[in-house]
A and B are shown apart, each in its own frame.
Chain A
Amino acid sequence: MADILQLLVAGLATGGIYALVAIGFTLLWQTSQTINFAQGEFVMLPAFFVLIAMGYFGLPFWPAMAVGGVVSVAVLGLLFKKWMVDPMIRHGVLPLVIATIGLAILMKEAVREFYGADAWPFPAFAATTDVSVLGAVFSVQSLVILAICLAVVAALQLFLGGTRTGRCMQATAQNPTVARLLGIRVERMILYTFLINGALVWVASLLITPIYLAKFTNGEWLGLYAFIAAIIGGFNQVRGAIVGGLLLGVVDNFAAAYISSQYRMAIPLMILIVVILFRPQGLLGRVEERTV
C-alpha cells in the first residue's frame, strides 16, 4: 500500500509537468493550428537560459531564474510566433510541422555546440529530503512539484475562464471568424497563447531539470510525452491535457515499477495507439467537424 502511494505521488508529480507542457501544446493547436514538434526542446532550453545567466553573467539563482523566464517568453513565445509561425502558417499545417522539426534540430545542436554535450547539474528550489506520512516516504521535491503544477494549472484555468482576456482567447480558439466579428482582436489573442506557452515551458523546465539534469537531448523524450499526454486527453481541450498528463505520469511510473523497466516507454505508446484508434478525439475531447 505504501509503495503504491509513493509511486502514485511520484507519478502525479512528473505527470503534472507533462500536463504543463501538453497544455501549451494544445493551446497553440487550438488557436493557431500550430503543431509544435519542438515543444520538447522548448522545455529543454529555458534551463540553459538560467544556467547561462548564472554562469556567464554571475547572477544568483533566483534572479537568473527570472531572467530565464523573461527570455523564454520573449524567444519561445514572441519570436517563435513572429519569425516562424506567422510566415509559414499560410502554407498549411504540414510545412509548419516540418519547420518545427527543423527548429528542434537547430535548438538541440546549438546547445550541444555552444554549451556542451554533458549533463549539467541544475539547482532545485526544493530541499531533496523525504517526509514520511502514514508509513509512506515521499520526497519533498515531488510534493513541491505537484503543488506548483496544480497552482499553475488552477491559475491558468482562472485566467481562461474568469477574465475578459481569457474568455476572448477561448472564443478565438473555438471560432476565430465569429470571434473577429465580435470585435475580438484575434491576432493579439493568438499571440497571448504563444506567450503563455513560453511561460509554461519555462515552469516545466525549472521543475524537471533538477531531476534529469540539463542535457541537450532532454527534449526528445519530453516532447514525445507531451504529445502523448495531449492526445490521450484530447487535443482540443485544456482539461484533456491535464488529465492526459497526470494519467501518463502515473501509468509510466507504475509500468516501470511493476511491468518492465525496459518496456516502460511501450505502455504509454500503446495507450496512445489505442486512444487514437478508438477515440481519436481523446478521452475528454470534442469531435472536430470537417468541412469539405
Chain B
Amino acid sequence: MKNRRLAAGIVLAAAGAFLLVAPFGLKPYGIFILTMWAVMTIAAIGLNLTLGYAGQISLAQAAFVGIGAYITAYLTTKGWPFWPTYIFGGASCFAIGWLLGYPALRVQHHYLAFVTLAFNTLVYLIFRNEEWLTGGIYGISNVPRPSVLGLSMNSPLAFYYFCLAHLALVSAATWWLIRSPWGRAFVALRENPIRALSLGVDTRRYTLVAFALGAGLGGVSGALYAPLVQFIDPTPFALALSLNLLLMVVLGGSGYFFGPFLGAIVAVLLPEWLRFTQGFYLMGYALLVMILMAFSPTGLLGVADRLTRPSRRRAGAAAGPVEAAAGSEGAR
C-alpha cells in the first residue's frame, strides 16, 4: 500500500514537473495544443464529477463549454474585462446546469443521456442561427486574452501557464470536494441510489449539485477556450465534442481522479503526435475504446490499478473504481 502511494507520488511529481518545463523547446503550435489539453481536461474533470462520481450520463458537456466560451467571447469583445466574464460564464453554466437538471434528473440513465443529447443539439442550433447574438456561422473573432496583475497573457507561453494554473486550482478544488462529505454522498448515489436515499442522503439535491458543478466546470473550460482560440464558431460545440469528452472520461477511467487527465492526453495530445497516421488515428482510437470496454470498463487507470494492486482489496471509496456502477445497471 505504502509503496503504491509512493510510486503514485513520484509519478505525479514527475508529471507536474514535466508540465512546467514542457513548453520550452515547443513551437507556438505545440504550446497551443498543450494549452488545449489543459482546457479540455477541465471540462472532462467536470464531466467526471457528473458521470464518474455521481453516475449520471451527460451528453451536454460540449453545450456548457460552448455557453461559457460564447459568454466570454461576446462580453470581452464588447469591452468587458476578463475576470467578471469568466466568473459570469462559469456561474451561468452552473445555473443552466441546475435548471436543466431540475426536470432532466426526473429520469435516469439512458433517458438522461437522450435529454442531455437533445439539449446539446438545441444549444448548437441556437449558436448557429441567432446571428444577432452569436454571429451565426461566422462566429465571434478577435477574442482578447486577459492580463493578470498588469501582465499580458498574450504570448502562447504566458497563456499556457495561465491555463495550467487554472487546471491546478480546479484539480485542487475537486480533490477537496470528492473527499468532503459531498463527494462521499456522490459516490453513495452512484453505487446505489435507493440505499443512499434510505440512509438519509437527499439524492435529488446531490444529483443536482453534481450535475450543476459538472456544467459549471464546463463553463470555466469554455471561458478559457475562447481566449485560447481567439475565434469561436458553433462547430466545435456540436454533439461530437460531448461524445468525445465522454470518451475521454471513460477512457482515462471514470470515477478515478486522474482519469480525465489521462483521457484528455489520449484524445487531445496523441492525435497531434500521430498526425502522420491521418484518419487511421481515429480508427485506432475507436478500437482502443471498444477493446477497453470489453476488457476493462474502468478505463486505462482501471488497468493500471489492477496491475499494481497487490491484493484485490479496494482502496478508499472516493478514489475507487467505478466497476460497481457499471455493473449494477446491467441487472435492471
Contact = CB atoms under 8 A, between A and B. Distances in A.
Interface of A: 33, 35, 84, 87-99, 101-106, 109-110, 112-113, 220, 224, 227-228, 231, 262-263, 265-266, 269-270, 272-273, 276-277, 280, 290-292
Given A262-B128, A266-B122, 13 more contacts: A33-B332, A35-B110, A92-B327, A93-B109, A94-B325, A98-B247, A99-B293, A101-B289, A103-B290, A105-B289, A109-B282, A262-B129, A269-B121
Interface residues of B, number: 47
Contacts of B121: 224, 265, 269
B154 to A, nearest CB: 36
A92 B330 contact: yes
Nearest to A92: B330
Interface in B86-120: 103-104, 106-107, 109-111, 113-115, 117-119
Given A91-B327, A101-B289, A106 B283 contact: yes
A84 B329 CA distance: 18
A103 B297 contact: no
A113 B283 CA distance: 9
Nearest to A103: B290
A186 to B, nearest CB: 15
A106 B287 contact: yes
B111, B113, B118: residue with the most chain A Cβ atoms closer than 10 Å? B118
A62 to B, nearest CB: 32
B267 to A, nearest CB: 11
22 contacts: A33-B332, A35-B110, A84-B294, A89-B330, A91-B293, A92-B326, A94-B326, A97-B57, A97-B110, A97-B113, A98-B293, A99-B293, A105-B283, A109-B286, A113-B278, A231-B114, A270-B122, A277-B103, A277-B106, A277-B107, A290-B332, A291-B331
Contacts of B239: 220
B289 A102 contact: yes
B247 A276 contact: no
